[in-house]
Structure 1
Amino acid sequence: MARSPHITREGFEALKAEQRALWDKRRKVVKHLAAAAAEGDRSENAEYIYRKKQLRDLDRRIRYLQKRIPELKVVERAPDDPERVYFGAWVELADRQGETHAYRIVGADEFDPKRRWISIDSPMARALLGRALDEPVRVRLPDGEAEFEIIDIRYDNPA
């Protein structure tokens, strides 16, 4: 499945900062790799083998970011209808047991479970998109189908 190109401004800036940091780290790894290579037999040189692997991992992530960043579309404005759930919304849900859950819908490259940010491509976000306050929402979760009710929609951080 294709990833959504949408991203928040802060997510976009974080990816660009990560890319710059990776280039800086890559330069250091290349220096260490050259020093390890100068030590002689590379086949038994643990430092050389480790640095080659580290360089491959860095290059893989740098290549991904070089391809992904130009594809991204920064969403900076609130939707025309703030009473419905769209990209960037903080959504508070109540489940059948009365427990509340709050999520922010963000781009696929910036989801963060610790911050309660879910990807716009996730089943939960797809079920919420376009819904209004007090609407019931059915979501297929890994442990079965669940039903929620939207109790709050905001486009600023509720902290």
Structure 2
Amino acid sequence: MQNVLDLTAKKAEFKQLKTYMDSIKDSQGVLMQTLHKAQDIFGYLPIEVQKFISKEMDIPLAEVYGVATFYTQFSIEPKGKHKIGVCLGTACYVKGSQLVLDKLAKELNIKVGSTTEDNLFTLEATRCLGCCGLAPVMMIDDEVYGKVDPKNIPDIIAKYKE
């Protein structure tokens, strides 16, 4: 899925980012701070935003892209309104979390790491969520679902489509 950011529709967001960049230009670690702020503003870090940061900060685009793709807290792809994380830690995996993940991928018609075409859901595999006693576990946004049975996935997903 190739996404192109509509630059004209995002003028206010670019101005907000520029104002922020100007306010921290004499600080240390400005690239990381700027990328965090840009992701807060735009929801992700599309190439157009990376080019803007590169130009404004006089940092090579390759360096901006390298940082944006190295750290897992940054995303260069848009995320869905609802983020679904399925734990694949040992306890969850042993209790069948791979089946939960596979059912979600089939139900949403996307691959793991992708976002639905309507931008409603992003599906990700995660590591331990700290709820091993509830294995298998998944989270949708901030809500934890424990002892998840794949057959219940359609009903769980339906609550978020309303």
Provide TM-score, normalisation by structure 2.
0.29
Q: Which has more radius of gyration?
A: 1
Provide TM-score, normalisation by structure 1.
0.29
**Larger RCO (CA under 8 A, 6+ residues apart):** 1
* Higher share in strand: 1
